[in-house]
Every structure is written in C-alpha cells, then in structure tokens.
Amino acid sequence: MKNLFIIFCSVALISCNQNSKKGIQSQDMESKASSKTDTSRTTEMVYFEGGTFTMGSSARTDFEKPAHQVTVDAFKIDKSPITVAEFAKFIEATAYITDAEKYGDAGVYNFNIQNWELKKGAYWLYPLGREFAKAEMTHPVTQVSWNDAQAYCKWANKRLPTEAEWEFAATNGGKSDLLYSWGNTLIQNDKYMANVWQGNSISASQGEDGFIYTSPIGYFGTTESGLTDMGGNVWNWCNDVFQLYPGNNMDYTVDELTKSMRGGSFFFDQSLEKSFTVTFRAPNTSETSLFNIGFRCASDID
C-alpha cells in the first residue's frame, strides 16, 4: 500500500527482536536516573466533556477515509506527552524493564548510512545509543513500546487514549476543522508551530525549527484546548488495534498486535506534512520501540 511510510517499514526490523533476542538486559542504577529526575513537575490533564464529532477525512490519505460520525464519552487526557523525567519515576518505583532493554536494542535511524538499524544498547534513557548523550528530562520519553506505555499508564492509574479521544482532543472537542491542532500551516509569522521534519526527503537538512531530534514538551505552545505537542515531536501511541474505518474497503488484514499511533514526529515520513494533521493515523507493532515514538495517558470520568 503506497501510503505506508518509513516508520512502518521499521516494524519488520523491530519485530525480528522476538526471534533473535532472548536475553534480558539487567536493570542498572543508571537506568533509574533518580539523581537527575525532575521531581517538581506533575502530569497535568485536560478535561473534555465528550460528544459526537466527525472523525477522519475523505479527502486525505487512504487510512483516514472515510469521514464518519463518532461519539466519545467525557474523558481527560494528559496535557503533554510523558517526559523522560516522568518515565524515570515509574522505572524507579517499579523496576520495570522495557521491551528495548529485554531485546538489547531498539530502532534508530542512522543518518550516516541512510537507513534504520537496531541500535545495540538504545533504550528510553539512551534513545540514540550508549555512545550518545542521555535523553533530556524535559523531553518526551521515546524508545517505549505500546506494551511499555500500557505498563506506565496502569502504574499511573490511567490508560492510553483511544484514537477517537485523541482526535477529539486535537480538534478542540470536535469543534475545529483546522488541518493541524494549531492552525492550517506549519509555519505562522515565520515561526514553526511544531517540531517537524523540514524538507521533502530523508536527506534534507534539519534544525530550522530549532531541533534535530526531540524538543522539550510545550516548547511550541498550546492548542486552544490547552494541549501541547499534538503534532510533531513524537508519535503518540493510542490504545486501539489498528483497523480500517467503517466503509473503507481497502485490502487490509487486522492484526491484534498492530496498534495505532497519532500526531507524527520530528522524523521524516513519506506523507510529509500530512503526518502532522489531526486526522492522520499510522500502524506499528506493540513491541516496537523507536527513537520517535512516545505516548500520553488518558482517564475516564467517574
């Protein structure tokens, strides 16, 4: 299917871990990162009262079709993606071992060889590998699989948002018809509105938006609803098994281990600027860990 993009191409690469990686990487003191954890920030959540809205788009990519009516109940969703500091608290409290640590490697795009690779030793604290700097505590955590995100949410007494909830939040409670969560263009008044890939190829130079890789959460401001990073920076895992919308007759086989992602990231995508829109969606396998996938949590309203 021509609309599949480079991040999805990595699924087969990461999935090979299940057959080739049997050992479990031991948890060391460094992975707890307690000495550098920012304990001052608590996770803020934004309330949405729920309602019926138009989900998807009949005019964009194949997986977004067709536009259809969906109703969501009231819920809360994290203002921002979970940061490295917040994830470190979870690791310190639970001694949880992520999928990347179990397999001993994780997916990183190597710009020198212009290809994805399973980077030995890459995991949430060292998302590019051990020879690179640690992840910044105020940046979104990456190299977390859907399984890891689920474990964090359970520990936090929350859950992953559904795709419908994510899109409802990105569209200001279903009230906005803007292309992106912040407006209709990536650049406004000569300023980038999100941490995005610049250019139309994988070899395009980066940094015009201020960042080569991830950026601090909230750096580019908030949406009308008070959310940050609802486009660009890192992909957001959603709770759903990835499947076609009702009325979409594409040839696609549902796999219970393939989950949905939203929002796009700092890294190249074959759909280019379309990947940052409020309706764009992508599949990846539940054990996949990549240097540009993170998550945020949601919760029901009692």
Confidence tier at 38 by pLDDT (50, 70, 90): very low
Say how far apart CA 275 and CA 268 lie, in whole Å.
9
Q: Enumerate residues 6+ apart whose C-beta is below 8 A from 14.
A: 106, 107, 118, 285, 287, 288, 289, 290
- Residue of 267, 238, 269 lying closest to 72 (CA atoms): 238
Q: Is the pLDDT of residue 31 over 80?
A: no
Say how far apart CA 302 and CA 52 lie, in whole Å.
20
Say how far apart CA 141 and CA 124 lie, in whole Å.
6
The pLDDT, as a whole number, for residue 286 is 98
**Coil, helix or strand at residue 165:** helix
Cis previous bond, 246, omega within 30 = no
- Average pLDDT on 254-281 reads 98
- Average pLDDT on 188-200 reads 97
Q: Enumerate residues 6+ apart whose C-beta is below 8 A from 231.
A: 170, 180, 181, 182, 193, 194, 196, 263, 264, 276, 277, 278
Confidence tier at 198 by pLDDT (50, 70, 90): very high
Cα-Cα-Cα-Cα torsion 241, 245, 249, 253, nearest 10 degrees, comes to 0
Q: Which CATH architecture has domain 6-18+35-300?
A: Alpha-Beta Complex (3.90)
87-146 pLDDT, tens digit per residue, is 999 999 999 999 999 999 999 999 999 999 999 999 999 999 999 999 999 999 999 999
113-128 pLDDT, tens digit per residue, is 999 999 999 999 999 9
Report the 10 Å Cβ neighbour count for 38: 13
H helix or E strand, kind and range, residue 151: helix 146-155
The pLDDT, as a whole number, for residue 42 is 55
Q: Is the pLDDT of residue 204 over 90?
A: yes
- Strands of the sheet containing 293-294, edge to edge, are 281-285, 258-262, 235-241, 293-294
- Average pLDDT on 68-95 reads 98
Confidence tier at 14 by pLDDT (50, 70, 90): very low
The pLDDT, as a whole number, for residue 24 is 34
The pLDDT, as a whole number, for residue 302 is 80
Residue % of the chain over a pLDDT of 70: 86
Retrieve residue 18's tokens. 């299940």
Confidence tier at 29 by pLDDT (50, 70, 90): very low
- Residue of 296, 276, 47 lying closest to 152 (CA atoms): 296
Higher pLDDT, 293 or 16: 293
Say how far apart CA 39 and CA 215 lie, in whole Å.
19
Confidence tier at 48 by pLDDT (50, 70, 90): very high
The strand ranges marked E within 152-289 are 187-188, 191-192, 235-241, 258-262, 281-285
Could you identify the residue written with the tokens 């040839």? 251
Q: Is the dihedral of CA 112, 113, 116, 118 positive or negative?
A: negative
C-alpha dist (Å) from residue 130 to 100, 124, 263: 13, 11, 28
Burial class of residue 52, CB neighbours in 10 A (0-12, 13-18, 19+): exposed
